Structure 1
């Protein structure tokens, strides 16, 4: 119920009592209750455009399906569609006031969208917001739906949309690693295992490994993205479809495909689709794997660039900013550090998602808001973080050719390359002498007449080439 006073506000009421709503706002009493009772974060349901758009697209498709099923009149349908378009354009964001992390199992979120769309539709039909004379939030905007099928469907649609940008960024990072692999293809490099000198290799080979990993991360994200195409729409409250006409489900999927350009489909088992959110364990798991893998690469770069005097210094990172407020001239590897820190946050988000997926009960999972919050956060952190990492760190990364070569030739790691010619026992004895005397193994071998430096370098060059196609 709604009434109006002379102070530019309208009054709406529910069984709890009356609330005052500014006349220029499109939300209603249910939205106010959700905001008053369940605000715990600074992020509203309008914060992520993809989530807002997903709800609007589903309400749009539902209105058309309800028109097809003769449970909604043409003027109501047209006004709802116009309101949904307004919402997608961002014109209703100020009225989307419910916290994304609200704890009502999504009811407050769904009602916020229902009320805003209903009131905007009312305006299109020449009626006041809050009167609900022609378009009602529950009877018309929410017709043939419930929070229990709309919210998880919107979550999937939004996640599917958001992953496109992330996958693109991961693929661009892979391309950048491939360029560095080519750029560093001829630079001799000391391979290390357990942070100890190991075998000769090429610096380009190291970066080719990073490129291969990153390509695989993009492929796995793309694969898990396809698992979001099955939506629970038409299941209404618990999967029986009660509350929607028989023709609704097929119609709503047809219209949603026309609106989004994506072929979303109905589930094989509606009860499974309502009860379980295991797909988000998989999505979040791939986000965690992506962040952890890139965090590992970032950690490698901090080690390889350490110094500039007392560390490895084999690569040089772009100098982004001053590294200390007390030590003049210090520059820290802040961009790789940022990538590592980001990975901690995404891994933490994954734990929250796993808990939420586990604690669904019986016919529905009412912890979908925390899944939305954490998955959207992870995708956003990764998308922005990877772009920054690629543009400001990897793109301008250079190598110190001579330092790489010196570290290799001065280490006992070259011993492995010499075993085929001199034998393990002989080379091992010389290698230990090299360590004990803190002298180059190549110098010792030349002094003893075992092998000239030029012969040794030929062996090292050969050892640093792969023995099979990679």
Structure 2
């Protein structure tokens, strides 16, 4: 066996005790033990590039801050920074092998990054990986840090980065829904409540409501994203900052903001920042709300496009693929269905996050890995799912104008529009007659001489174009 000695080059394997380190890998003994003890899922810590990048950015900023405070030499700092840049570029993903869902409270994750960065920095300075002659994982890469402040800081930075594309996708969905609202602005439509005929409206109004919801969802996601800019970095183990020099904290935030390109700030109370993950309950809650709200839209689309013969058939969704292996010609609303199914997963993830936030203990929350795993999963599902839902479904929706108008004209919803002219009691009696005889209300009105079809249509047109005497978003008070 090769024992890890000072500056030996690795041959086939290096060994620390009985732990083998492959020659072409940059991790160390702490990583191997973390993998052996805590691998429970198929995803490693490099699976989400944003998380890998965020961790390396924290180490990069820490190296610069330590150099500013004489904790590292310029040579050591430069080597660590160079290694961090290569980690960010994805060069050593095959050495970042700890399970994302590891149960060490993040220590195995932190040490995996420390060892890879230290070993690569060693190589930059002409020393063998594993010797740690000049760059040590704990003494240098992890200097002025603890898992307890670096992991949640990296988690916030990664989540902030991942939310950007998601917000953009929700905004794109809102834009497409706005386009459909304009396209369908003049299509008469039967509004329904409790799946029963209700009132006349325009199909464009329905889609305008969807667009408004999507814009609001994007705004709420952006608002909670901004809360992620406060980090616990600099608190070290429990918030005291013990183990870091006096000037480190201010320096690390300055460098981190420059490295990431986002202005991150220190918390007003470092102990609160170390103890609590409530911001992730809020983030996950907004992800859940987004998923559930868009699932409602998707569900509406499946109902309105149902048929094509035995359902409503008022909308036509793009035909994405065959819907059955046994029923020829059947086409299912697979894209809305996928959006609804996705919401189940995101809602389940939110329950896990809520549990993890609740069960932090005393000075830290050591369940951050499950928060990372579930929040990242929700963001990925929503980002990918909304993109496909928008491009492959919403963008291609068309309408059957004749069927929309037919359903409206044959329904009792017409009665609501006639109440101002004929009175509630009279219209109610006529509506019951319509149901009993199975004939359209408009036909009965014409036969009775109470109202011509043209007059009834005019009333419906008025009812489907409401006039609000209060500007939206105001109280109406002067």
* Cα displacement string for residues 203-242 of structure 1 (whole angstroms, at most 9, x for unaligned residues): 0000000000000000000000011010001100000100
Aligned to 1:9: 13
Deviations 1:267-300 (A, max 9, x none): 0111100000000000000000000000000000
Alignment of 1:253-264 (within 5 A): 253-264=253-264
Shift of residue 22 of structure 1?
1.1
- Structure 2 counterpart SS, 1:395: helix
Quote the Cα distance in structure 1 between the aligned partners of 2:235 and 2:421: 72
Give, in whole Å, the separation in 1 of the partners of 2:459 and 2:10. Answer: 92
TM-score (ref. length: structure 2): 0.96
Please report how far the alpha carbon of residue 6 of structure 1 lies from its aligned counterpart in structure 2 after TM superposition.
7.9
| RMSD, aligned CA | 1.0
1:200 is matched with 200
Alignment partner of 1:372 is 2:372: yes
Q: 1:17-52 CA deviation, whole Å, 9 max, x = no partner?
A: 431111110000000011111000010000000000
Partner of 1:85 in structure 2?
Answer: 85
For the Cα contact (< 8 Å) 2:35–2:98, is it kept in 1?
A: yes
- Give yes or no for contact 2:11–2:23 (8 Å, CA) kept in 1: no
Query: What's the offset of the Cα at 1:2?
Result: 2.1
**2:199–2:416: 8 Å Cα contact kept in structure 1?**
yes
Q: Distance in 2 between matches of 1:55 and 1:455?
A: 69
Task: Show structure 2 runs of 5+ residues with no match.
Answer: 473-478
Structure 2 vs 1, CA of residues 409 and 6 (structure 1 numbering), >3 Å: closer, same or farther? Answer: closer
**2:395 is equivalent to residue 389 of structure 1:** no
Question: 1:154 Cα shift?
Answer: 0.2
After superposition, the C-alpha distances for 1:141-194 in whole angstroms (9 at most, x for unaligned) are 000000000000000000000000000000000000000000000000000000
Counterpart for residue 37 of structure 2? 37
The answer to whether residue 170 in structure 2 is matched with residue 170 in structure 1 is: yes
Matches within 5 A, 1:214-363: 214-363=214-363
Within 1, Cα distance between the matches of 2:11 and 2:60?
34
Structure 1 residue runs of 5 or longer lacking an equivalent are: none
Tell me the secondary structure at the aligned position of residue 396 of structure 2.
coil
Supply the distance in 1 between the matched residues of 2:4 and 2:68 (Cα, whole angstroms): 31
Aligned partner of residue 10 in structure 1, secondary structure: strand
Q: Which TM-score applies when normalising by structure 1?
A: 0.98
Counterpart in the other structure of 2:460: 460
* Mapped partners of 1:75, 1:2: distance in 2: 24
Query: Residues of 1 paired with 2:10 and 2:358: CA distance?
Result: 51
Deviations 1:280-325 (A, max 9, x none): 0000000000000000000000000000001000000000000011
SS at match of 1:21: strand
In structure 1, distance between residues paired with 2:80 and 2:289:
41
Q: Cα–Cα, structure 1 residues 330 and 348, in superposed 2: closer, same or farther, change >3 Å?
A: same
Residue in 2 aligned with 1:158?
158
Q: Is the 8 A contact 2:178 2:211 kept in 1?
A: yes
